[in-house]
Amino acid sequence: MNVGRGDMHDDVDPREIAGLSHDLEMFGLEFEREAMTTRQDLWDGTGDEDPEVRDLLAALRPFSYRAELSIERRRTFLRRISAAAAVLLAAFSFYALLNNLPSSDPLPRKSRSDGSLLARAGLEVIVDASDQRPKRLVVGRLGFVDVDPGSKMRVLSAEANLHHLYLAEGSATATIGARARTFQIGTPAGMAVDLGCKYRVDVRKDGATSVVVVSGAISFETAGKKVWMPRGTTTVSIPGRGPGAPVWDGEVGDDYREALDTIEFSRTPSSEALAKVLRESRPKDGITIYHLLASSDETVRTASFERLEALCPPSAEVDLSSARRGDLAALERWRDEMTLRYWY
Amino acid sequence: MRRSTPELSTDIGAAEAPASSPEIDLAIRARDGDRMAFGRLWDRFAPVVHGILLTLVPSFEVQDMMQDVSLSALRAIDGLKDPRAIAGWFCTIARNRARDHWKSRRHGTIDRLAEDVVDPGPIEDVGDDRGSRILAVIRGMPETYREVLILRLVEGLSGPEIARLTDLTPGSVRVTLCRGMKILRELLVRENLA
């Protein structure tokens, strides 16, 4: 075999190579003899520098994983700054929302990738309305979010102890198995805080948000109001107004929901509407009446308390007088009892 | 300085799985749910996965696919039967992901070769700089050589590292490097890139 200049390392005894090569040829192992003559610098980067190998390594290094990683680290640094800015922007938008000020579109840029995506801070998912299927966003090991066509979502945070997404428009279904409160989807009308569940969020162009809980439970929150929603319930939240009391999805009529809206969001709650809701409620609808206990109107609070006590009488372990005064611990104890007895 | 005689082996294919190595230890811990161990394992194999993907798909697709492969590996690691086969396991995930890419795109030729290797056909993302052109030349070489050459010349892995991280014998890697370099040298001269 013709061995070219530099094909053998200087430090290797040529006689050793020749002897071994002869032995190998005797066994028909030309292949191995060739292997032995591979230049040392090409083999493991030791020995005398081979200009040809060094030239190729230098020319091709920019395409390596390590080169991309260093670029990605610089990008990550910039992305963190962007994420911080995004959080500030979201906080400002939320503040503006509460004060009925117009907010700017929080998702000006487009996403770029097909198929499922891994949630990372700063990632934006924009699914065209013409797309046939939802785009899946994988949220670490917690689960995934399917973002429907015509939707815009941004990942504000993707830390182990908090995954925070923002759905600006459209629909998304989250299937999450996480510790309570470690996964949240914000919308222009509030925040759905996961308590270990699957739920669907729809955001209209005007920011109005409807939430349906498929399994588990969520807490839908704004600065001034929080509703607790077990599986099977739904609510609508309007920007600047907050979420309404949850109702059982598909089980209550439109007139019931309209009456509920009147109780919760008109300046002077109608006594007819209140009577209708309380009269038509079943023990199961205690979930709806329970949320009326937080009404700012004393008449609504008092009537709701009496009806709830009749529909879903608490055990002796619930301090009713404390609950009547609005004591949160007593109310939650009662709620837990109702959950076990009527809502699951 | 006198060097030891290079390793000789009559086995030119897959290496016999070693009984123990840092990668195997990490694989066992990762399989048992140690996320830190998986992270360290990924750090070790990421250049290999990157190199394999770079061999098979356009370079602008590689970064996204790296995420896919890491996620697939993370999801599947608890089902790893033989931690000694961790190197081949990572390589197979990467090759399968590349194959899925071409299937989904219905682009190029999909040839199921030995060990699920796919032939992507002509590579289109050739830049104007010399490095891009050299990379395109390597990617146009026969399948046998391009993966090892990319792992050595692009990813900067040494021959022993390539052998350890791809389940090939050192002898096989040596021969492939030697022959591949000869072919590459001729091609670079022909393309005025030498």
Instruction: Indicate yes or no: CB of A60 within 8 angstroms of CB of B154.
Output: yes
This model of the complex carries an ipTM of 0.80
Instruction: Indicate yes or no: CB of B135 within 8 angstroms of CB of A60.
Output: yes
What pLDDT is attached to residue B171?
A: 87
**Interior CA angle at B108 toward B104 and B111, to 5°?**
90
What pLDDT is attached to residue A231?
A: 84
By CA distance, what is A34's nearest residue in B?
A: B175
Using the CB atoms, write b or e for B78-92: b if 16+ within 10 Å.
eebeebbbbbbbbbb
What's the average model confidence in pLDDT over A122-141? 82
By CA distance, what is A63's nearest residue in B?
A: B154
Query: Which residues of A are less than 8 Å from B153 in CB distance?
Result: 53, 56-57, 60
Using the CB atoms, write b or e for A264-274: b if 16+ within 10 Å.
beeeebeeebb
What's the average model confidence in pLDDT over A269-287? 92
Nearest to A35 among B1, B2, B178 (CB): B178
Which residue of B7, B42, B67, B193 to mutate against A (max A Cβ within 10 Å)? B67
Q: How far apart are CA B49 and CA B165, in angstroms?
A: 10
Nearest to A68 among B63, B131, B172 (CB): B63
pLDDT tier, A115 (very low <50, low <70, confident <90, very high otherwise) = low
Q: Which two tokens stand for residue A329?
A: 């611990």
Across chain A, what does the average pLDDT equal? 75
Nearest to A64 among B64, B154, B174 (CB): B154
Instruction: Indicate yes or no: CB of B67 within 8 angstroms of CB of A115.
Output: no
* CA distance to partner chain B, nearest, from residue A38 (Å): 5
Nearest to B156 among A11, A31, A64 (CB): A64
* CA distance to partner chain A, nearest, from residue B50 (Å): 6
Whether A94 has a pLDDT exceeding 60, the answer reads no
Q: What are phi and psi of A227, to 5 degrees?
A: -120, 145
CB A308 within 8 A of CB A286: yes
What pLDDT is attached to residue A164?
A: 85
Instruction: Indicate yes or no: CB of A66 within 8 angstroms of CB of B155.
Output: yes
What pLDDT is attached to residue B148?
A: 94
Q: How far apart are CA A171 and CA A177, in angstroms?
A: 20
Higher-scoring residue by pLDDT: A135, A217: A135
Which residue of A8, A61, A63, A113 to mutate against B (max B Cβ within 10 Å)? A63
Query: Which residues of A are less than 8 Å from B74 in CB distance?
Result: 141
Q: Report residues of chain B scoring pLDDT below 70.
A: 1-19, 102-128
Tell me which long-range contacts B20-24 makes (C-beta under 8 A, separation of at least 24).
B21/B164, B23/B86, B23/B87, B23/B164, B23/B165, B24/B83, B24/B84, B24/B86
CB A260 within 8 A of CB A290: no
pLDDT in tens, B55-81: 888 777 787 788 788 888 888 888 888
* Region of A232 on the Ramachandran plot (φ > 0 left; ψ -120 to 50 alpha; else beta): left
Q: How far apart are CA B43 and CA A106, in angstroms?
A: 35
Whether A174 has a pLDDT exceeding 50, the answer reads yes
Q: Which two tokens stand for residue A162?
A: 């908090």
Instruction: Indicate yes or no: CB of A57 within 8 angstroms of CB of B181.
Output: no
Instruction: Indicate yes or no: CB of B59 within 8 angstroms of CB of A56.
Output: no
Q: How far apart are CA A20 and CA B190, in angstroms?
A: 34
